[in-house]
């Protein structure tokens, strides 16, 4: 596929809480733009999993700046989650369009090369991020519940996923032994 490079994540990990912070630091990452639904919380949920909370606190401790970038039209919920995690949030982001990503960079006050994005959708998070040259890290969706159009996109994802995740870096903990 001609544009397949745009769907290629820089790295992949099974879930956010398993991101290896040391590896991020090896790449001099100073900021992370997080998707919300099926990345930090189950789709449509107001409940933030404990491991998500702990992970975000870990990032704050080492001064990795974070913000939330979501396509959700449920503004109240996005703002609530931002408040709970103590992070700036951009709802209604219209990913994969570039505006939200560029706004996120401004909020973080960082250059695109110092930032990664973390999200669960190839056609929103990975594509949008690559278009503005922010390196994307793909996570497995927390649930198989999704917005109706997303469910359709998941079918296409399934087709191209093996191709685009070939040779991507594993950002999870390296299991020893």
Closest distance of CB 167 from Mg ion, Å? 24
Closest distance of CB 153 from Mg ion, Å? 11
- How far is the C-alpha of 165 from the C-alpha of 172, rounded, in Å? 14
Q: Is 117 in the site for Mg ion (CB under 5 A)?
A: no
Mask of contacts with Mg ion, 85-104, x by CB under 5 A? Answer: --------------------
Instruction: Give, as ranges, the residues between 15 and 44 that touch Mg ion (CB under 5 A).
Output: 35, 37-39
Give the list of residues 6+ apart from residue 37 with CB closer than 8 angstroms, or none.
43, 44, 45, 70, 71, 72, 120, 147
Q: Is 146 in the site for Mg ion (CB under 5 A)?
A: no
- How far is the C-alpha of 169 from the C-alpha of 176, rounded, in Å? 17
Based on CB atoms, which residue is closest to Mg ion, 35 or 157?
35
The residues facing 137 across adjacent strands are 11, 118
- How far is the C-alpha of 138 from the C-alpha of 166, rounded, in Å? 13
Residue selected from 120, 127, 146, 157 as contacting Mg ion according to rule CB under 5 A: 120
Based on CB atoms, which residue is closest to Mg ion, 110 or 118?
118
Q: 122 with 152: CB under 8 angstroms?
A: no
Closest distance of CB 119 from Mg ion, Å? 6
Q: Which residues bind Mg ion (CB under 5 A)?
A: 35, 37-39, 120
């Amino acid at each position: 596929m001609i544009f397949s490079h745009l769907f290629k994540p820089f790295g992949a990990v099974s879930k956010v809480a398993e991101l290896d912070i040391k590896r991020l630091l090896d790449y001099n990452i100073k900021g992370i733009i997080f998707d919300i639904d099926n990345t930090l919380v189950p789709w449509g949920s107001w409940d933030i999993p404990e491991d998500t909370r702990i992970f975000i606190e870990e990032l704050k401790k080492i001064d990795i700046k974070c913000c939330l970038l979501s396509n959700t039209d449920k503004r109240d919920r996005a703002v609530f989650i931002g408040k709970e995690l103590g992070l700036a949030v951009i709802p209604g982001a219209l990913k994969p369009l570039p505006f939200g990503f560029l706004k996120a960079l401004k909020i973080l006050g960082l250059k695109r090369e110092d930032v990664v994005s973390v999200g669960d959708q190839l056609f929103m998070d990975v594509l949008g991020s690559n278009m503005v040259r922010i390196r994307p890290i793909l996570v497995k969706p927390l649930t198989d519940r999704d917005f109706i159009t997303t469910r359709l996109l998941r079918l296409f994802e399934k087709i191209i996923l093996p191709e685009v995740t070939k040779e991507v870096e594993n950002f999870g903990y390296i299991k020893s032994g």
